[in-house]
Amino acid sequence: MNKTYKFFFFTLLVVFSACSSKPRIIMEHIFENNSWNAFNEVEMDTVIIERDKAYRIELTVELEDNFEGNEFSFGFTQSNEDGESKYSFFKIPVRNEKREMIEQKTGDYYVSKIILNKKTFFNSDSRYTFAFESVMGKVNAKGIHKMKLEIIQL
């Protein structure tokens, strides 16, 4: 991947749930011009402090009306400074057979959510990188506003 052409903004927030003292790490990436160039990998980094705890990893995407595909397809890599790396491929269905968006519009966007890992453990107290690569078949996939990655301690 050509990292010199990465244009992304993300915010790292550690949020504590009002009902529980379990931490939630939230990282966001807002796409420049609401478009994802297939040559640009999206990376989000955080430090996992409590490696012996179980976590759930979720991804939320916000799409616009002009998103052309029937599904939001991406590769997902989770890696750490110690060299551990895991790769997975995901598809989020976003349009039905009539080409209508499956989710109802929330504000300006169609919001879809997927659980990337319902229960995982991190093997190292180190910095982790969560990388996403577009596999949607177009060099510039339009109509993608934001991706939000949440890591929730169980």
17, with CB counted inside 10 A (0-12, 13-18, 19+), is: exposed
132 is in which domain, residue-wise? 3-153
**Residue 58, burial from CB neighbour count under 10 angstroms (0-12, 13-18, 19+):** middle
Q: What does the pLDDT average to over 129-135?
A: 95
Higher pLDDT: 77 or 38? It is 77
> What is the pLDDT confidence band of residue 21, given thresholds at 50, 70 and 90?
low
Tell me the per-residue pLDDT of 32-46, one tens digit each, with 9 for 90 and over.
999 999 889 999 999
Query: What letter does residue 5 receive in the DSSP assignment?
Result: G
Count of the separate structural domains present in the chain? 1
Are 144 and 134 contacting, i.e. CB atoms less than 8 angstroms apart? no
When pLDDT is averaged across residues 55-61 and rounded to a whole number, the result is 96
CATH number of the domain within which 143 lies? 2.60.120.1310
pTM for this structure? 0.82
